[in-house]
Structure 1
Amino acid sequence: MSSPMDPRSGTPANTALLPSAQARPQSCGRWTMVPATLFPAHAQRWDALNDNGARSPFLVSTFIQTLLAHFGQPDVRLALCQQHGRVVAMALLRPGGRYAWTCFQPSQLIVAPLVHEKGLPVAALALDLLAALPPTALSLAFTQLDPDISPRPTEQAHIGTLDYIETCVIDLPPGDFASFEARLSKNTLANLRKRAAKASRECGEVALDVFSTVAEVEPFLRDYARIESAGWKAAAGTAIREGDPQYAFYRDVLVHSAAAQRARMFRLRFGDQVAALEAVLITHETALLLKTTHDETLRQYGPGQRLFYEILRWLSAHLPSVQRVETYGPINEKQRTFATAIKRMYHLNAYRYRIVATAHRMRIGARQRRAAASAAPATAIEPHTGAAAFFGSQEWFDLLRTTVSLPGRYLEARTPACAAGGQANFTLPLQYVRSPTGKRDLVACANFYSGLYAPIVTAHTPAQQAADALLTLLEGVGWDTLRLAPLDRESPLFGVLLDALSRAGIVHDTYFCFGNWHLPLSAQDFSDYLRTRPSRLQNTLKRAGRRFERIPGARYLLVRQPGAALEAAIGHFQMLYCKRGRAPEPHPEFIPELCRRTAEKGQLRLGLLMLGDRPVAAQIWIVCAGSALIFKLAFDPELRSLSVGTLLTARMLQSALEEDRVREIDYLTGDDPYKKDWMTHRRERYGIIAFNPRTVFGLAAAARHFAGRQLRRWQAHWADASAPGDTAPAEPSR
């Protein structure tokens, strides 16, 4: 085999570090590149390759041309591979950085823009193309490959693959929907009938409208934009709106496809009310579900699932040539009920040098080992107990959003609504933050008041559903980084999130947030508990207690209910909190509203030590789901010698044990030394940070994060190595 040529010089490329002739797949041909603006001149060849190979609606030249027209950039290149004078493969590429190239792939394109003759190995195509790129290109990525179009190769010295997402495939028997329906579970069919009957009774007759002409595109898309703009995507800024670039793109795609009789637009109605819409592209025997939305106010009737079912039935009856339906998004439970097969899409990386391949594989392996070590696999997420029941409640997030100036816009990753009540079983509240530079961050709906970050879980939720909820959101929102903290590292959620990110091929890491001291309880007798604590604490309580009781007007108050007493207690707490020299609360309405709302639910325990009318110590505890959460503490620094803070903690703890009969006391945040005098156990709260490998900001943030972490490790190592007289091995850093 001849050496690959550098197309710029006409000389053989450096092959010393490329695979040998024995290891390297046979060459598929010679690649050349031209500006993507010349794509129309090559559209006929592109379609011929798609028709004879992929046969994908996504890869029809009109779709690609529309994509380039709306989202193309000057650096996009059209690559052509010729073999004996015949074009056998084509791809759209762009630089992915100084040393890497990748596919041109806006979020509207779910599969790699690569077409090739059937039987050509994608690994050989990638290596040939990498050899034709400038020598500074150390790697080439084909992202989101479909194994049915480009079969997944085995790992090689210069070829690596990564799992992407699982997606749904539905094979329809031509003109025989009854046989397909017979495969569905009885529960699925019963739920479809039950919800349809309920919708008919309460809203009007369930009807399906089908559109296919150019004139019908604009009215359909206006309905689509109106409904999607009223849902969760509006909060994320990703909803299609009339007049925006997405609207113009999908309008042009549907117009071109309808003109060629390759589009069908489906509208589900409940009476006169539009319930759900779906745009479908059709090429040969494949129907692609391009875009779907539904009216979230009708979720209790399952409009999305109903429309999915009706589309399958219509295609079987009216287009028997359609034998396969593709979705390409991360599979969800709605699709899983209809799927006849599930396929895993993948990314492919080609490396110019072995050392680059080795370094990348080591990084991936380290990430996977961290994920595996961090959490055991979970099968489900259950409704919360303990602190998570409080911090993972709708009431908590409502309190944060109304009293705290959280950055960005609120949005949710959630599972589909359940039949009973129309609510999602799992909801992960997030904030979508866009910086002045354009960086887009998804962050937990949390701040320094949050002792824990937890989702809202109203019922048993399979782990796969929870993972799909996050991945579906990430697919639908333009993002650069994701940060979720503080999380319970021992909870099923932690493992589910890490597993979801790993399976999606998203670069991520974990980091330490803070220690959490807590006290599991098996008995509810305060004197028995106190005997187990350090003698220093016991002696302090005895001496301070005697001194305090001798002071005239000394008393203990515990406020639980709303009313005038609560408002006075809130004022006492705020006065003591500021008296310690602390800065005023940055969100002055938060603490009063926290106290009022938890008092209304019977959760508040606001304890006070008083000397006459003078408050000297105050503490806010929350009792929820069998746990007492120590939320905020304050005392008068002028009376520090009386140990008023210690005395109040003892009184509140005794009340929690003997009156509330809690199963756990939780200090929530921090490793303050005094906490281990009261508590017996310590655990750690961690965060998860993820980076979008397909955006410049995401890659830059990942580079800063991992480089900084490595630098800190080196600094710690050098400090330990240079410490005089220290012969003990250094403790591993977190």
Structure 2
Amino acid sequence: MNSEYHNNFQSVQAAAGEKLGRSVQKSLFDRLEWIKGLHQLCLPNREPLIVHCEDGNTSAWIFLVKNGLGRYSALANWYNFTYRPIFSGDYDEVTKLALLARLAKKLSKYAHSIEITPMPDEDASANLTERAFEQAGWVVFRSKVDDNHILNVKGRTFDQYWGDRPGQLRNTVRRKAKKNLVSVRIEKEFSEDDWNDYNSVYQRSWKPEEGNPEFLRHVAQREALAGCMRLGLAYIDGEPVAAQFWTVENGEALIHKLAHVEHATKSSPGTLLSVAMFQHVIDVDHVDMIDFGTGNDPYKREWMEDVRERYRLELYWPNHPLAWLPILRHYASGLVGGPRSD
């Protein structure tokens, strides 16, 4: 079993080949093109630390960025729905645990403190990572940080799904649609004009300033080339008043961004656009699941039916003096129950 570290993406690409590409990694957030773009455009001043372990044809990767002397965090930000160690090859849980434990041991040479989030656990990522780092000698604290609202379509048509929505939502859509003020279109191909309309809506919406519009634009262009972009736009009298950026792949639709302008709220363009987007991905793309990302905005509960938790793992190397105080603080706070005892 071999392990190595990288501090640049050229060497990662050389080592990984296609193992971190679209053909192998089914999740958008597990691909090198996503991670590399995120670092270059959103975290350019944060030195990367990338650790790789290989056993035969099985590989594991962890992508981190430096926060200070011996302190690292996940190479991720608010654009990520998830963050987790990435695997390729033929593996089972035992193999994954062994590879991660080896990575964790190697990381102790570089870091005394690591924070990784947002971690899923429906695929056992958080649990497996926690166990592996503990096995390697780290002290691990786990806490819930967010919720992830999803819809499992369960083979329903849009009409069947829509019939299960709250009556108030359905009545709103029926009343607003009758007025025929809002026109909607859904684009799969990227165009500068469409993206300018999207940006125009976002900039005039209630949303906070976009963290890095250029990163999102690159994602949209790349996903459009792969046939995965769904850009929804709503207009009133030719003015863009609502916009949504989704991606669709491998039976899943991800809702990345949505916004509407305040002065058009009475016409509910955002809601009417959502109806069109949901109908398209359910009846045309035939997705199995729709993922609304993280956050507990009340409106998400009107559209989604299930909730998954997202976690933070705080990892400390107990043989380093700089880890002692934060470990003690965790124990003393009583907010976290401490390392796993099983």
1:519 maps to: 151
What amino acid maps onto 1:415 in structure 2?
C
Q: Structure 1 528/232 Cα, relative in aligned 2: closer, same or farther at 3 Å? A: same
Q: Structure 1 406/624 Cα, relative in aligned 2: closer, same or farther at 3 Å? A: farther
2:92 maps to: 462
SS of 2:211's equivalent? coil
2:326 maps to: 701
**Aligned counterpart for 1:453 among listed residues 83, 108, 112:** 83
Structure 2 residue 282 is matched with structure 1 residue 657: yes
Runs of at least 4 residues of structure 1 off by over 6 A? Answer: 296-300
Structure 2 residue 220 is matched with structure 1 residue 586: no
**Aligned counterpart for 1:559 among listed residues 166, 174, 187:** 187
What is the percent sequence identity of the aligned residues? Answer: 26
Higher RCO by CA contacts (8 Å cutoff, separation 6 or greater)? 2
Residues 495-510 of structure 1 correspond to what in structure 2 (within 5 A)? 495-510=127-142
1:600 maps to: 225
2:67·2:73 contact (CA, 8 Å) conserved in 1?
Answer: no
SS of 1:511's equivalent? strand
User: CA–CA distance in 2 between the matches of 1:533 and 1:704?
Assistant: 46
1:426·1:461 contact (CA, 8 Å) conserved in 2?
Answer: no
2:43 maps to: 405
* Deviation at residue 458 of structure 1 after TM alignment: 3.1
What amino acid maps onto 1:704 in structure 2?
R
User: CA–CA distance in 2 between the matches of 1:403 and 1:483?
Assistant: 21
Higher Rg of the two aligned structures: 1
TM-score (norm 2): 0.86
Structure 2 residue 7 is matched with structure 1 residue 235: yes
User: CA–CA distance in 2 between the matches of 1:608 and 1:671?
Assistant: 24
* Deviation at residue 687 of structure 1 after TM alignment: 1.4
Structure 2 residue 246 is matched with structure 1 residue 614: no
1:628·1:665 contact (CA, 8 Å) conserved in 2?
Answer: yes
SS of 2:213's equivalent? coil
Residues 165-180 of structure 1 correspond to what in structure 2 (within 5 A)? none
**Aligned counterpart for 1:414 among listed residues 34, 45, 52:** 52
User: CA–CA distance in 1 between the matches of 2:4 and 2:201?
Assistant: 42
Q: Structure 1 574/516 Cα, relative in aligned 2: closer, same or farther at 3 Å? A: same
Count of residues paired in the alignment:
324
Question: Which runs of no fewer than 5 residues in structure 1 stay unpaired?
Answer: 1-167, 169-230, 237-295, 301-382, 714-734
Deviations 1:446-468 (A, max 9, x none): 11111111333333323344334
What amino acid maps onto 1:618 in structure 2?
A
Q: Structure 1 529/609 Cα, relative in aligned 2: closer, same or farther at 3 Å? A: same
Q: Structure 1 394/418 Cα, relative in aligned 2: closer, same or farther at 3 Å? A: farther
Deviations 1:138-182 (A, max 9, x none): xxxxxxxxxxxxxxxxxxxxxxxxxxxxxx9xxxxxxxxxxxxxx
1:506·1:691 contact (CA, 8 Å) conserved in 2?
Answer: yes
Deviations 1:431-454 (A, max 9, x none): 2x152xx3x123211111111113
**Aligned counterpart for 2:253 among listed residues 620, 628, 631:** 628
User: CA–CA distance in 2 between the matches of 1:543 and 1:399?
Assistant: 43
What amino acid maps onto 1:391 in structure 2?
F
2:62 maps to: 428
**Aligned counterpart for 2:176 among listed residues 544, 558, 562:** 544
Structure 2 residue 307 is matched with structure 1 residue 682: yes
Residues 200-599 of structure 1 correspond to what in structure 2 (within 5 A)? 232-233=4-5, 235=7, 389-405=27-43, 408-416=46-54, 418=56, 425-431=59-65, 433-435=66-68, 438=69, 440-476=70-106, 477-547=109-179, 549=180, 551=181, 554-562=182-190, 566-599=191-224
Deviations 1:500-534 (A, max 9, x none): 12222321111111111111012241111111111
Q: Structure 1 299/580 Cα, relative in aligned 2: closer, same or farther at 3 Å? A: closer
Q: Structure 1 403/484 Cα, relative in aligned 2: closer, same or farther at 3 Å? A: same
Deviations 1:185-208 (A, max 9, x none): xxxxxxxxxxxxxxxxxxxxxxxx
Q: CA RMSD in A?
A: 2.6
User: CA–CA distance in 2 between the matches of 1:588 and 1:658?
Assistant: 30
TM-score (norm 1): 0.42
What amino acid maps onto 2:123 in structure 1?
S
What amino acid maps onto 1:496 in structure 2?
L
1:638 maps to: 263
What amino acid maps onto 1:445 in structure 2?
L
Q: Structure 1 384/597 Cα, relative in aligned 2: closer, same or farther at 3 Å? A: closer
User: CA–CA distance in 1 between the matches of 2:16 and 2:298?
Assistant: 50
Q: Structure 1 455/393 Cα, relative in aligned 2: closer, same or farther at 3 Å? A: farther
What amino acid maps onto 1:513 in structure 2?
V
1:299·1:417 contact (CA, 8 Å) conserved in 2?
Answer: no
